[in-house]
Structure 1
Amino acid sequence: MTGLKPISPSPAVVEILDDLARAHRILEMEDHGDMSMGHLSFRDPEGRGAWLKRGNLGFEEVQPEDFILIDWDGNVLEGTGLRHLEWPLHTEMMLARPDINVVGHSHPFNAIVLSATGQALRAYSNEGVWFEEHGVPHFTLTSNLIDTRALGEAHAASLGASDAVLLRNHGASFVGTGVKECTLAGIFLEKAAKMQVAIASTGWKHTAPDHDEILTKRVDIYPERAKNNFWNYFNRKLAVREGRSWDPKYDAPMAPTT
């Protein structure tokens, strides 16, 4: 942290940055890490732009102070440290989709394998069910960095109404209304891709449930209480991995919750 000036976010932003830092470390734990590449961001609640992880850090290293605030043109408004070249990937998604508050981009192995095939992600497992309604499109314009606003706009257009998009021979981007939803989308995308790559490698005949069944299944297995449960679980798993106690708010409930 030598040479970095402290950021001074509002109390509301501080809480989100704490979640966002842990989301990076959770995603590292769940096979999204790639050296110091990859980044998550969230929409500044005051409308100034986006809070983006600073560069030169691996997912497993990110702490709440490791973010910079950029405006919609990429100018750094707060914080110091390297601004990721792919900042337009984040800002253009948020500009295109007002419902998106958190954006993630990473290079998970199996998602990249699937991106190179052009195959549609199928719901062969529960994780794939998450994406059934809108599918997971493929962004094929380039395999290079999304480092201009024009490429960011094209990437956002490719995403459409989906929760994730595969970037050909590059990686994946995933989004959510909040940190929890974006993190789960990223985790489930890589798990679903891993399942599909494994099934394809067998050469055996394989099937997926039909579309209507999958949509019903999504309602059944991903209600809000389940999303909260999964988010809490991954926070506890991270705490165990890091050798620390977790916040009691992530405790597993002893009785059913609504």
Structure 2
Amino acid sequence: MNDTFGLDKDELVTRSKAQMDRMFKDSDFTLEQKLALTCRILYDAGHDSGLSGQITARAQVPETYHTQRLGLGFNEITATNLLLIDEDLNVLRGDGMANPANRFHSWVYRARPDVQCIVHTHAIHTSSLSMLEVPLEVAHMDNCVLYDDVAFASNWPGVPVGNEEGEFITAALGDKHTLLLAHHGLLVAARTVEEACVLSMAVERAAKMQLIAMSAGQIRPIDSTLGHEARDWINRPKRNAVAFSYYARSALSRHADCLE
């Protein structure tokens, strides 16, 4: 066995990443199953707000997306009741209609070719924090997956069904993967469904921690170099896939029907 006690941190990080990539497989879930699982995972984590909130993912045909049907809650989404829509929200496959608020998703997808999945929810702690009109503060190692990657929109543009709201939200997001919308909720624009799920979970937990910390005193910032280092350690495709599999196992113990 190699003696690792003389290695510096960079070498140990590199070795750990390589080992993780070798040891863990990507999931066998289909894209639709990942979306349904994400809905159930977020529902269980407090992201439920009736019929508010949307999830979309790019489909194989350009300018088309998978999304949930308006009228169904996150706890009712299955791999088979998702819709296929175009960027004008016309239904190409499935029954029912898309949420009219999905319009801003089309604006984000147009502006961000790197984005493959978008989650928007009114999670309880994130929404509560948004009422204070303060940005999300990432000041704990568990939340560093979000470090320097959370934009903030201090103005509420109203119901996001118009093109104006799509332009506003897209501009506010910029090149980040997460956005806190004042008086509204969270937006995650991710490179994979797994990343979208992990970041959405992280935003809600970070908001909860921030509210608790703010009630006790002043939040102290963490070192920027270490924050970026932690983010790059956590927010990797393989790490997100492993985390998603953990969340999925938990969700399936309660929502086996979502894979039907």
Q: State the partner residue of 1:29.
A: 44
* Equivalent of residue 186 in structure 1, options 200, 204, 215: 200
1:85-164 to 2 correspondences below 5 Å: 85-138=100-153, 140-142=155-157, 144-164=158-178
Q: State the partner residue of 2:223.
A: 210
* Equivalent of residue 45 in structure 1, options 56, 60, 78: 60
Taking a change above 3 Å as real, the CA distance of residues 224 and 84 of structure 1, as seen in their structure-2 partners, is: closer
For residue 24 of structure 1, report the CA deviation from its aligned partner. Answer: 0.4
TM-score, length-scaled by structure 2? 0.82
* Equivalent of residue 83 in structure 2, options 65, 68, 93: 68
- Indicate conservation of the 8 Å contact 1:163/1:174, yes or no: yes
- Indicate conservation of the 8 Å contact 2:140/2:222, yes or no: no
Q: Report which structure shows greater RCO (CA 8 Å, sep ≥6).
A: 2
- Indicate conservation of the 8 Å contact 1:111/1:190, yes or no: yes
Q: State the partner residue of 1:231.
A: 244
Paired amino acid for 2:53: G
TM-score, length-scaled by structure 1? 0.83
For residue 205 of structure 1, report the CA deviation from its aligned partner. Answer: 3.9
Q: State the partner residue of 1:221.
A: 234
Taking a change above 3 Å as real, the CA distance of residues 96 and 48 of structure 1, as seen in their structure-2 partners, is: closer
Q: State the partner residue of 2:12.
A: none
What fraction of aligned residue pairs are identical, expressed as a percent? 24
Aligned residue for 1:30, secondary structure, equals helix
Which consecutive residues of structure 1, in runs of 5 or more, have no partner in the other structure? Answer: 1-13, 247-258
Residues of 2 paired with 1:105 and 1:243: CA distance?
Answer: 24
State the Cα RMSD in Å: 2.0
- Indicate conservation of the 8 Å contact 2:156/2:184, yes or no: no
Paired amino acid for 1:237: S
Residues 20-39 of structure 1: CA distance to partner in whole angstroms, max 9, x if unpaired?
A: 01110011011111122211
Paired amino acid for 1:184: V
Which consecutive residues of structure 2, in runs of 5 or more, have no partner in the other structure? Answer: 1-28
Q: State the partner residue of 2:7.
A: none
Paired amino acid for 1:215: H
Paired amino acid for 1:37: S
Q: Report the structure, 1 or 2, having the larger helix content.
A: 2
* Equivalent of residue 174 in structure 1, options 178, 188, 210: 188
Aligned residue for 1:147, secondary structure, equals coil
Residues of 2 paired with 1:24 and 1:42: CA distance?
Answer: 12
Aligned residue for 1:136, secondary structure, equals strand
For residue 141 of structure 1, report the CA deviation from its aligned partner. Answer: 4.2
- Indicate conservation of the 8 Å contact 2:139/2:221, yes or no: yes
- Indicate conservation of the 8 Å contact 1:43/1:51, yes or no: yes
